[in-house]
Amino acid sequence: MRLSLARYDPAWMTLNRNSASTANGMSKRIALIPGDGIGPEVIRVAEQVLAALAASHHLPVDCKTFDWGAEKYLREGVALPAGAIEMLRRDFDATLIGALGDPRVPSNQYAVDILLGIRFGLDLYVNQRPVKLLDARLCPLKSVAEKDVNFVVVRENTEGAYAGVGGNFKRDTPDEVAVQEDVNTRKGVERILVYAFEYAAQKGLKKVCMSDKSNAMPYGHGLWQRTYADVRRRFPQIDAQHLYVDTLAMEIIRNPSQFQVIVTCNLFGDILSDLAAALLGGLGAAPSANLRPGSISMFEPVHGSAPGIAGKNVANPMAAILTVGMMLDHLGFPEEAAQIEKVVAEAIHLGMTTPDFGGRLGTREVGNWICERL
Ligand code: NAD
Ligand code: IPM
Ligand code: MN
């Protein structure tokens, strides 16, 4: 059997934060990748939000748009252009992506090349996905208040089942064998666990829940167990808990208020973050950040390109708007970030939403309302 290695070499040692920034009087430079499906619709609104804040708060941002996505791939055969990662690292402070994925490319390989290409290429090892309920009426659970759903999923973002190690043998025959390896490194597991505990400590939170499937996957997730035992000892002030991922999935629905920080592997983090988004009313309110502390980062809503609703002006732009908030917070504008969240919550309270949140407005109209408020 031929095993192939991932095509992306994380640049472990070579990353530096771009030096030109507002600290020396220059704008924060943001690379926009609208992508496919509803991506361009929600990124248009995100851009409008940035422009509104630039006008009202003198926010120094400078955006440049890149056409990476299905159209370019189908036209030119190019997914992530040569030199793209270096260019992002050199010329930008942050990247904001809409979504990637198009039914015309069933393999999805170009989207994986772009999305995982950036995550792995910039070694953005943290995928931070906040789960914060902004209006109790959106939560499908009984008797849940806003304060009951407020936790963050810290997803490992550079290895695990996403490492791209595997292969097919006797492909397309009745004897086909397919292998997709789950790659866990001591360094990779340790740095995500340390990030989760440090995040909790810095935010004054008390609880971290580590989740794995070590009862069934003793090698890979045994490493998570042993590393966790080591890391938790360094944070005696944090109440550390372990749950197997199947139990965690149940507990997130049964009693979400027990969680503050959940840390888990790449694949489980992907699944749990969509599950948890259901508590917020759906993917329309789920933002995310791909981080490497001290380095350029990439921001994207948790949702995908939603081809079924693309081009109809019905996609909820709030996840993308909240993602802009995460980006601004990360770039050193916490007040603007807080204001974005406040205005989005206000829009939801007043019913100024797209149909998925019970309203009657379109994507653009929700964007206009929020921008006027900002
Ligand atoms: P999806 O997130 O696109 O859609 C799931 C469901 O949620 C659909 O019913 C969709 O209509 C709805 N939805 C998603 N975002 C919404 C929004 N903003 N407003 C209202 N409704 C919304 O997931 P999927 O259908 O499994 O995947 C579609 C494509 O997107 C696939 O190609 C997939 O690989 C890709 N994808 C990309 C990303 C990304 O680029 N970050 C993330 C997830 C999925
Ligand atoms: C996400 C998406 C991606 C992932 C896909 C599109 C590769 O689902 O960002 O959550 O699995 O990471
Ligand atoms: Mn996902």
> What pLDDT, in 10s, does the model give residues 37-79?
999 999 999 999 999 999 999 999 999 999 999 999 999 999 9
- Position in ligand 2 atom list of the atom nearest CA 270: 10
On whether the CB atoms of residues 215 and 245 are closer than 8 A, the answer is: no
List the domains of the chain with CATH numbers: 1-124+292-374 (3.40.718.10), 129-286 (3.40.718.10)
Q: What is the CA(314)–ligand 3 centre distance, in A?
A: 20
Q: What is the pLDDT of residue 26?
A: 79
Q: Which residues line ligand 1 (CB under 6 A)?
A: 38, 99-101, 108, 111, 115, 283-284, 300, 303-309, 315-316, 319, 356
Buried b (16+ CB within 10 A) or exposed e, 206-227: eebbbbbbbeeeeebbebbbeb
Q: How far is residue 338's CA from residue 329's CA, in Å, rounded to a whole number?
A: 8
Ligand nearest to the CA of 37: 1
Query: Of 80, 95, 115, which is best to mutate to test ligand 2, by the most ligand atoms within 8 angstroms of its C-beta?
Result: 115
149 in contact with ligand 2, CB cutoff 6 A = no
370 in contact with ligand 2, CB cutoff 6 A = no
Residues recognised as catalytic: 162, 213, 246, 270, 274
Q: What is the CA(6)–ligand 1 centre distance, in A?
A: 25
Q: What is the pLDDT of residue 166?
A: 97
Q: What is the pLDDT of residue 234?
A: 98
> What pLDDT, in 10s, does the model give residues 222-254?
999 999 999 999 999 999 999 999 999 999 999
On whether the CB atoms of residues 136 and 245 are closer than 8 A, the answer is: no
Query: Of 129, 283, 313, which is best to mutate to test ligand 1, by the most ligand atoms within 8 angstroms of its C-beta?
Result: 283
On whether the CB atoms of residues 207 and 239 are closer than 8 A, the answer is: yes
- Beta bridge pairs of residue 33: 97
| Amino acid at site 371 | C
CA 118 to chain centre: 12
> What pLDDT, in 10s, does the model give residues 351-360?
999 999 999 9
Q: What is the CA(174)–ligand 3 centre distance, in A?
A: 31
What is the sign of the dihedral through the CA atoms of 121, 124, 125 and 129?
A: negative
Within 8 A by CB and 6+ apart from 24, the residues are: none
Q: What is the chain's mean pLDDT, rounded? A: 93
| pTM for the predicted model, two decimal places | 0.94
Alpha helix ranges (H) inside the chain: 39-57, 70-76, 84-91, 109-121, 186-202, 220-233, 245-254, 266-277, 318-330, 334-349, 363-373
pLDDT at 128 over 70: yes
270 in contact with ligand 2, CB cutoff 6 A = yes
- Position in ligand 2 atom list of the atom nearest CA 300: 9
Residues having C-beta closer than 5 Å to ion ligand 3 = 270
On whether the CB atoms of residues 356 and 284 are closer than 8 A, the answer is: yes
